[in-house]
Structure 1
């Protein structure tokens, strides 16, 4: 029996699993969450009282439909769901999965990676203080636990997630002190012809922003976060006219749209290319998501197209897998995907990464929060060893912490490129290494018996 494994149970992973199940296959679905849904449709614990309309707003019907689809397939035994499990390594056709039963091997013949995206962050002086979170972390706390991470919260950065999280916090009754967008209104206006590819979504975002009122400010420059032992006390910034501003707060959430989560794709030998539009490295694949022999990518881990695009890409990746297995299936979604690509290009242009501001950060600014590495240390390492990301990583320890460069790599690349007069792509990227997630040493020491291997159809 062909062993197809899907990593990730967000919109892309769910639609991929559904498509394979409809063709008579029983894929294994490995997901870090306790319940399927991914980040955008993250599900609260059982017994949580907030209704879907409060959690997902206008997307509630889509969320409920996806959750119901996946739960039904699991109940019918048509997919093998492995929740609360993380893939920490990939080698020779085997995933190494850390889950409730420890570290177990999971062999596969075909692999679909639907690993989603993480926050794309830009360092701000003082962001290493406790009480400074990513926008995604603020959203997770709200959706999964009904918790606001502060009483007076400043949200800063750029991109649709900035407006969305602010609107969700505001609707939940949280104290939002300010919503500070580094993207100028002019750039957003110039991108409107591309954003018109999805007029309903664009108008919905503008309506959310309108409800934020004077809390929302565009074209700002973030200067620093002041904090004491308990966390942030104020965020200092300049408005679009250059006037100095100060907003008292007790929590800060930062984010500049998203970055594709590529760690597992790289371990699976997918080819990565630098995308100057998004200021990040992303996997290369054909329009159906084929990224190598038996390897398929879908969702935001491949291209940042949002939840609707992830559903389409998940179906296409599964169809590509079926076609390669000699089970022909049509792919009518390709035209819709092209329209979503136009919209995504508009988002990238409307809400650019603040590369120039990052490159000009003072030497004292912390870039790698895990290891406490400053911009000055990165520049000094580049001066000694050259502006190659992995060489600078070795000399400075930047990117060697728990996140393995997920949150600091983009900023570090901009700093290295500016310091040495090269393009960011020339600086390269910090190579992905196993384990992809932290794991206990005891899990590495254990040697699972053959009976513990994860196999399709629930067999061990």
Structure 2
């Protein structure tokens, strides 16, 4: 039987697995989390008492249904499920997987449903303890029912900014301010496209925004995060009129929408294109997710369409796989029509909540750009006479992108700084090439004897 490996057990991975099982295949599903669901529908530990409506809000029914679908597949022996494992490398039809032990999982077809990560922009002072990404704050809330501060400031832009603020307030946390760098004019222009594509979803977002009241501020400029020995003490910012403001806090969450996680797609040989609307490099794939021979991409790792779009993309990738295998498959026309509507909505989101390129390009030299390696904007600029305006050469000399995150959080901002100094567009700087291992790994895992093969 054809061996199909699915990486990721979020909405896209689960729906891909379901479609393959319906066609008579037995896929292997590898996921980093302890329980399937992905980030948006992240499941808490067994015995956690908060009900789904508190965890997922208006999306609770979708989350419960998705979880139940995958649980049935696993319980029925229809899939081989490998949780709490990371795919570290891909080579010659073998996935090198690391959990408690190293494993090798062979495959004939590969579906990557790796999702997205936070898209972060540097702010002076953001390297201090107590400054988190929005995604990290949401994980703590969903997985453990924990608010990471007593007085919280959330800053950045994008739907997650509003959603997380609403979720924290619902859980009883104190949110002192929600600082959105997106100008209100951009939000209105993009919002029109959003409401035309998905009116109910847009209206739900507006209701969440209204519930924030005076905590929410649009069109702000972030000046710096003031910190003490125990972490953040205040965020200094300017409102849309240019007036200086200061909000006291003991925790800061940052995030500017999402960044597609294309690390494994890169290692698998996918090509990438610069997407100016989303201000990032995205893997190249056809409408069903084909990105190469035997390679299929689904979900936010290829197109940032949200959870509903990820479910559709997972089914689409499975259909592409079945087509290429010459097996019976569902018709894809309806899915492709719905995906186009999701794309129109996503384009509206990108317009409404733009990446703060100008803020990054004008950062003071003392601002830390790479938190992992402690590299400042000045360090990066000083490297350019030797490296030239090319991302990988600048990485080699300045070490931006060489740390634990491997450039996931500093690559885009580093490119903006290089481009500004060289008078170029960010796309002309290029992108950092992915390197195995895809995640930090103990060296001992690779010094041991060859790992065992699973799911032959």
Instruction: Please classify the TM superposition score into its range, dividing by the shorter chain length.
Output: over 0.9
The separation in 1 between residues aligned to 2:392 and 2:35, in whole angstroms, is 36
Name 2:124's counterpart in structure 1.
Answer: 125
SS at structure 2 position matched to 1:96: strand
The separation in 1 between residues aligned to 2:387 and 2:207, in whole angstroms, is 50
Report matched runs for 1:33-432 at 5 Å: 33-100=33-100, 102-196=101-195, 197-329=197-329, 330-331=331-332, 332-432=334-434
SS at structure 1 position matched to 2:286: coil
Shift of residue 194 of structure 1?
1.1
8 Å Cα contact 2:191-2:349 kept in structure 1: no
Shift of residue 193 of structure 1?
2.6
Calculate the TM-score normalised by the size of structure 1: 0.98
The separation in 2 between residues aligned to 1:363 and 1:29, in whole angstroms, is 45
Name 1:434's counterpart in structure 2.
Answer: 436
Shift of residue 384 of structure 1?
2.1
Shift of residue 323 of structure 1?
0.5
Shift of residue 439 of structure 1?
1.0
Shift of residue 380 of structure 1?
1.0
**2:6 matches 1:2:** no
User: Any idea what the Cα deviations from partners look like across 1:125-165, whole Å, max 9, x if unmatched?
Assistant: 00000000000000000000000000000000000000000
Shift of residue 276 of structure 1?
1.1
RMSD after superposition: 0.7
The separation in 2 between residues aligned to 1:291 and 1:268, in whole angstroms, is 9
The separation in 2 between residues aligned to 1:73 and 1:237, in whole angstroms, is 50
Shift of residue 440 of structure 1?
1.1
Where do 5+ consecutive residues of structure 1 fail to align?
none
8 Å Cα contact 2:3-2:27 kept in structure 1: yes
Where do 5+ consecutive residues of structure 2 fail to align?
none
User: Any idea what the Cα deviations from partners look like across 1:162-181, whole Å, max 9, x if unmatched?
Assistant: 00000000000001010000
SS at structure 2 position matched to 1:191: helix
SS at structure 2 position matched to 1:333: helix
User: Any idea what the Cα deviations from partners look like across 1:251-304, whole Å, max 9, x if unmatched?
Assistant: 000000000000000000000111111111110000000000000000000000
Between stretches 188-197 and 172-181, larger displacement belongs to 188-197
SS at structure 1 position matched to 2:98: strand
Shift of residue 441 of structure 1?
1.3
SS at structure 2 position matched to 1:165: helix
User: Any idea what the Cα deviations from partners look like across 1:353-384, whole Å, max 9, x if unmatched?
Assistant: 00011000011000000000000111111122
8 Å Cα contact 2:117-2:261 kept in structure 1: yes
The separation in 2 between residues aligned to 1:41 and 1:366, in whole angstroms, is 32
SS at structure 2 position matched to 1:141: helix
How many residues align? The count is 453
